[in-house]
Amino acid sequence: MADTVVVPYFRLAWAWCRALAQYPVSLTLLTLAQLGTTTVELAALFFVFGHVDALAGFTLHEALLIYGLTGTAFCLADLLMGSTERLGEHVRKGGFDVMLVRPVSPLVQLATDGFSPRRLGKLVPGLVALVVALGVLEISWTPGRMAMVPVLVVSGAVICCSLWVIGACMQFFIAEARELSNAITYGGYALSEYPLAIYGRDIVRAVTFVVPLAFVSWQPALYLLGRPDPLGMWPWLRYASPVVAVLLCAVAALTWRVGLRHYRSTGS
Amino acid sequence: MRVLLAVFAYGLRRYSTYRWATAASVVVNSVFGVINALVLLAVFETRPQINGYTAADAVTQVFLAQAFIGVTAIFGPPLELGERIRDGQVAMDLMRPVGFVRWWLATDLGRAAFNVLARSVPTFAVGVVLFDLALPAEPLRWVAVLVALVLAALVGFGLRYLYALAGFWLLDTRGVDAVAWLLGPFCSGMILPLVLFPDAVAAILRTLPWAALVQVPAEILLGRTVLPGGTLGGLAYQAAWAAALLVLGTVLTARATRRVVVQGG
């Protein structure tokens, strides 16, 4: 695993980083622009809370925790796996054939193609929000809760990475489906920026059992805050994020295999 | 003029070939519309009115904004002009016996026209079906909305033309584009209606061209234009920005073409 996936991943990603570092001004500006995209979303959250004290019973700081968990997980996934959404383009232009004949896993090649450290910029607001929220909220810290914070962040990131891969695999079947996969990835991000309770029971059920976005930030936040689920879902769901991450990762791997088997080259 | 009409038609036809991509865009715009609408409904749950907006007004603006994404290209795509400046193909465009700005305007309006039919209408229809929108009863207001839509497309083109034109000086417009796709949605009232912004910020944003893309058209639809002159004032604001951007674009084109150097052997 380490030799076939992790090492090539970092080597290829590092090669792209070095290439981009040849244009330091451009890299800096584009990183700042990426930082801007998530900063304005955070600003919007603050503007909203300028008008109300609580959304669905969640205060600004609690919403900040949810935003922080979402932002960190999604932007980590975007950094690591975001390039996979360009699969359709590679299929159309024939570049995917080249990946298949190289002696590195095509998924690793796809994920690192055009790897862009500027996406780190996006991560900053989410991470800051998360740290600030964990600091200001009066969470009853136990050793278990403390240890769970990194586990929850990693689980969230794994869930998001899996969604990105599953979304990309749709492009094996419909080459122009990039936008559709964006509905899951970026749409999922937009959805889970806010406390899910505001969307009502049906949507929360869908993002718990169909597209498990609820385990990225909503259930983890309920766990950290020690709050009962306002929608009255099973209380043990809040412990399920790591399990869901592993399961979804398996689903993503399976989808990738099915997609790969389905792949026919574009022809002449 | 006949040439420009042909170019317009070609732009329209060209985009109509990407059917799946268009259908996917409608899905994405609708999904984002639903998410934004539900967030705003939660906000208005505790306060029935914020700065004169009701929940229905806010949700209406959300779907108008989603319907305008394709037409105004507020999140991109950039004009191909930028790429053509970089790789030198712009030399070909400059040789054409048609005005440079007019040529690009005609292509882009073709794209916008296709987007109105294939993206704006279905996306807005999703909003009408799923939510209680504040829709005007009088037909005249719908006419005003259509005019606002055309003016928004012109402003959208004017802005993107300037972004692309920066390529004559910078060669690579990707940095400009990245900043533009970030500022546009925020300053236009797409991410959040400007009425929910702090008053001072909103006051500044209401003087900038981006407000003509979403906020002003939305207020024309809602009949809540805060500009003097009501609906006509709103249209005048959009028209003024469209004219200013197009004039600026024309002036800068003249300057840029004097300094253009096409590389290659």
Does residue B248 register a pLDDT over 60? yes
pLDDT in tens, B139-172: 999 999 999 999 999 999 999 999 999 888 887 7
Nearest-angstrom CA–CA distance, A140 and A94:
55
Chain A residues touching residue B43 (CB < 8 angstroms): 48, 51-52, 55
Is B178 in Cβ contact with A44 (below 8 Å)?
no
Is B31 in Cβ contact with A187 (below 8 Å)?
yes
φ, ψ for residue B74 (rounded to 5)?
-70, -25
Nearest CA-CA distance, residue A55 and chain B, Å:
6
Do residues A133 and A125 make contact, with C-beta atoms less than 8 angstroms apart? no
A88-92, A187-191, B237-241, B244-248, range with the lowest pLDDT: A88-92
Average pLDDT for A196-209: 91
The residues spanned by each domain of chain A are: 2-262
Chain A residues touching residue B197 (CB < 8 angstroms): 47
Is A179 in Cβ contact with B197 (below 8 Å)?
no
Which pLDDT belongs to residue A232?
Answer: 86
A-B contacts (CB, under 8 Å): 90
Which pLDDT belongs to residue B170?
Answer: 81
Of B32, B50, B172, the CB nearest to A190: B32
DSSP conformation class of B78:
P
Could you tell me if the ipTM is greater than 0.90? no
Per-residue CA distances from A173 to A12, A88, B7 (Å): 27, 9, 34
Average pLDDT across chain A, whole number: 90
Is A30 in Cβ contact with B178 (below 8 Å)?
yes
pLDDT in tens, A127-184: 999 999 999 998 888 898 899 999 999 999 999 999 999 999 988 887 777 788 888 8
Nearest CA-CA distance, residue A183 and chain B, Å:
5
Q: How many residues does chain B have?
A: 265
Chain B residues touching residue A168 (CB < 8 angstroms): none
Of B43, B178, B185, the CB nearest to A48: B43
Average pLDDT for A248-255: 96
Chain B residues touching residue A50 (CB < 8 angstroms): 196, 198
Say which amino acid occupies B183: L
Count CB-CB contacts under 10 A for residue B181: 20
Is A51 in Cβ contact with B191 (below 8 Å)?
no
* B180: nearest CA partner in chain A: A33
Does residue B237 register a pLDDT over 70? yes
Do residues A240 and A219 make contact, with C-beta atoms less than 8 angstroms apart? yes
Which pLDDT belongs to residue B212?
Answer: 95
Q: Confidence band (pLDDT; 50, 70, 90) for B264?
A: low
Say which amino acid occupies B136: P
Say which amino acid occupies B203: A
Do residues B236 and B148 make contact, with C-beta atoms less than 8 angstroms apart? no
Chain B residues touching residue A179 (CB < 8 angstroms): 21, 24-25, 27-28
Does residue B265 register a pLDDT over 60? no
Does residue B263 register a pLDDT over 70? no
Q: Pick the more confident residue, B192 or B21.
A: B192
DSSP lists the bridge partners of residue A58 as: A55
Average pLDDT across chain B, whole number: 90
Is B42 in Cβ contact with A26 (below 8 Å)?
no
Of A30, A37, A47, the CB nearest to B196: A47
Q: Confidence band (pLDDT; 50, 70, 90) for B54?
A: very high
Percent of chain B residues topping a pLDDT of 90: 62
Q: Confidence band (pLDDT; 50, 70, 90) for A89?
A: confident
Chain B residues touching residue A190 (CB < 8 angstroms): 32, 35-36
Nearest-angstrom CA–CA distance, A108 and A110:
5
pLDDT in tens, A47-75: 999 999 999 889 999 999 999 999 999 99
List A residues 116-145 in contact with B (Cβ-Cβ < 8 A): none
Percent of chain A residues topping a pLDDT of 70: 99
φ, ψ for residue A132 (rounded to 5)?
-60, -45
Count CB-CB contacts under 10 A for residue B231: 22
Does residue B261 register a pLDDT over 60? yes
Give which of B143, B150, B142 is closest to B116, Cα–Cα.
B150
Does residue B225 register a pLDDT over 90? no
Nearest CA-CA distance, residue B49 and chain A, Å:
10
Per-residue CA distances from A161 to A148, A171, A184, A262, B57 (Å): 20, 16, 12, 22, 37
Do residues B248 and B164 make contact, with C-beta atoms less than 8 angstroms apart? no
Do residues A159 and A212 make contact, with C-beta atoms less than 8 angstroms apart? yes
The residues spanned by each domain of chain B are: 2-259
Give which of B251, B220, B239, B52 is closest to B153, Cα–Cα.
B239
Is B42 in Cβ contact with A50 (below 8 Å)?
no
Greatest alpha-carbon span in chain A: 63
Of A47, A53, A200, the CB nearest to B198: A47
* B173: nearest CA partner in chain A: A26
